[in-house]
Amino acid sequence: DVKVTQSSRYLVKRTGEKVFLECVQDMDHENMFWYRQDPGLGLRLIYFSYDVKMKEKGDIPEGYSVSREKKERFSLILESASTNQTSMYLCASSPPALDLWGFFGPGTRLTVL
Protein backbone atom coordinates (compact mmCIF):
# COMPACT_ATOMS: atom_id res chain seq x y z
CA ASP A 1 0.00 0.00 0.00
CA VAL A 2 1.17 3.50 -0.82
CA LYS A 3 1.88 5.40 2.29
CA VAL A 4 2.13 9.15 2.69
CA THR A 5 3.05 10.29 6.17
CA GLN A 6 3.09 13.77 7.64
CA SER A 7 5.27 14.77 10.55
CA SER A 8 2.51 15.97 12.87
CA ARG A 9 -1.24 15.51 13.16
CA TYR A 10 -1.74 18.61 15.28
CA LEU A 11 0.48 21.66 15.66
CA VAL A 12 0.07 24.89 17.62
CA LYS A 13 2.40 27.79 16.86
CA ARG A 14 2.71 31.47 17.70
CA THR A 15 2.42 34.31 15.21
CA GLY A 16 5.80 35.04 13.64
CA GLU A 17 7.27 31.59 14.25
CA LYS A 18 8.89 29.63 11.43
CA VAL A 19 7.00 26.39 10.88
CA PHE A 20 8.15 23.23 9.10
CA LEU A 21 5.70 20.62 7.87
CA GLU A 22 7.25 17.43 6.52
CA CYS A 23 5.81 14.86 4.17
CA VAL A 24 7.31 11.49 3.22
CA GLN A 25 6.04 9.00 0.64
CA ASP A 26 7.28 5.46 0.15
CA MET A 27 6.22 4.70 -3.44
CA ASP A 28 8.93 6.47 -5.42
CA HIS A 29 6.42 8.96 -6.89
CA GLU A 30 7.81 11.84 -8.91
CA ASN A 31 5.00 14.27 -8.11
CA MET A 32 4.30 15.71 -4.67
CA PHE A 33 1.86 18.40 -3.60
CA TRP A 34 0.95 20.59 -0.66
CA TYR A 35 -2.66 21.72 -0.21
CA ARG A 36 -4.54 23.55 2.46
CA GLN A 37 -8.16 22.71 3.19
CA ASP A 38 -10.59 25.22 4.68
CA PRO A 39 -14.34 24.79 5.21
CA GLY A 40 -16.33 25.85 2.16
CA LEU A 41 -13.22 26.46 0.07
CA GLY A 42 -12.12 22.94 -0.70
CA LEU A 43 -8.50 22.03 -1.26
CA ARG A 44 -6.27 24.79 -2.59
CA LEU A 45 -2.86 24.06 -4.05
CA ILE A 46 0.07 25.81 -2.37
CA TYR A 47 3.07 24.29 -4.15
CA PHE A 48 3.91 21.17 -6.08
CA SER A 49 7.05 19.41 -7.22
CA TYR A 50 7.52 17.06 -10.15
CA ASP A 51 11.11 16.13 -9.41
CA VAL A 52 13.86 16.51 -6.86
CA LYS A 53 14.85 20.16 -6.41
CA MET A 54 12.01 21.24 -8.73
CA LYS A 55 9.06 23.26 -7.49
CA GLU A 56 6.13 25.11 -8.96
CA LYS A 57 3.81 27.63 -7.36
CA GLY A 58 0.20 26.68 -6.96
CA ASP A 59 -2.74 29.01 -6.44
CA ILE A 60 -1.82 30.37 -3.00
CA PRO A 61 1.97 30.32 -2.54
CA GLU A 62 2.25 33.62 -0.66
CA GLY A 63 3.73 33.18 2.80
CA TYR A 64 4.95 29.66 2.05
CA SER A 65 8.05 28.03 0.62
CA VAL A 66 8.96 24.40 -0.08
CA SER A 67 11.97 22.15 -0.23
CA ARG A 68 12.51 18.87 -2.03
CA GLU A 69 16.03 17.61 -1.52
CA LYS A 70 15.13 13.93 -1.78
CA LYS A 71 12.53 12.24 -3.95
CA GLU A 72 10.56 10.85 -1.04
CA ARG A 73 10.42 14.02 1.06
CA PHE A 74 8.61 17.30 0.44
CA SER A 75 8.67 19.99 3.10
CA LEU A 76 6.39 23.00 3.47
CA ILE A 77 7.78 26.02 5.30
CA LEU A 78 5.82 28.90 6.77
CA GLU A 79 8.45 31.61 6.98
CA SER A 80 6.57 33.71 9.54
CA ALA A 81 3.33 32.12 10.64
CA SER A 82 0.20 34.26 10.71
CA THR A 83 -3.27 33.58 12.09
CA ASN A 84 -4.74 33.34 8.58
CA GLN A 85 -2.54 30.31 7.98
CA THR A 86 -4.52 28.33 10.55
CA SER A 87 -5.79 25.44 8.46
CA MET A 88 -5.61 21.74 7.63
CA TYR A 89 -2.53 21.02 5.52
CA LEU A 90 -2.56 17.99 3.26
CA CYS A 91 0.35 16.47 1.41
CA ALA A 92 -0.15 14.21 -1.59
CA SER A 93 1.97 12.22 -3.99
CA SER A 94 1.17 10.83 -7.44
CA PRO A 95 2.77 8.71 -10.12
CA PRO A 96 2.89 10.17 -13.65
CA ALA A 97 -0.28 8.39 -14.79
CA LEU A 98 -3.69 9.79 -13.88
CA ASP A 99 -5.28 6.39 -13.26
CA LEU A 100 -4.38 6.63 -9.57
CA TRP A 101 -4.06 10.33 -8.99
CA GLY A 102 -3.49 11.57 -5.49
CA PHE A 103 -2.40 9.57 -2.48
CA PHE A 104 -2.94 11.84 0.48
CA GLY A 105 -1.40 11.93 3.90
CA PRO A 106 -3.56 12.16 7.05
CA GLY A 107 -3.16 15.93 7.26
CA THR A 108 -1.71 18.36 9.79
CA ARG A 109 -4.13 20.59 11.65
CA LEU A 110 -2.12 23.79 12.25
CA THR A 111 -3.32 26.45 14.64
CA VAL A 112 -1.49 29.79 14.72
CA LEU A 113 -2.18 31.87 17.82
The contact set with another protein (CB under 8 A) reads 4, 31, 33, 35, 40-45, 48, 50, 56, 58-59, 90, 92, 94, 98-107
**Closest distance to another protein from the beta carbon of 16 (Å):** 28
Nearer to another protein, 14 or 97 (CB): 97
Spatial contact of 40 and 108, defined as CB atoms under 8 Å apart:
no
Nearer to another protein, 13 or 109 (CB): 109
**Closest distance to another protein from the beta carbon of 105 (Å):** 5
**Closest distance to another protein from the beta carbon of 47 (Å):** 11
Contacts of 94 (CB under 8 A, 6+ apart): 29, 31, 32, 33, 100, 101, 102, 103
CA angle 97-103-108, nearest 5°? 150
Question: Which amino acid, residue 27?
Answer: M
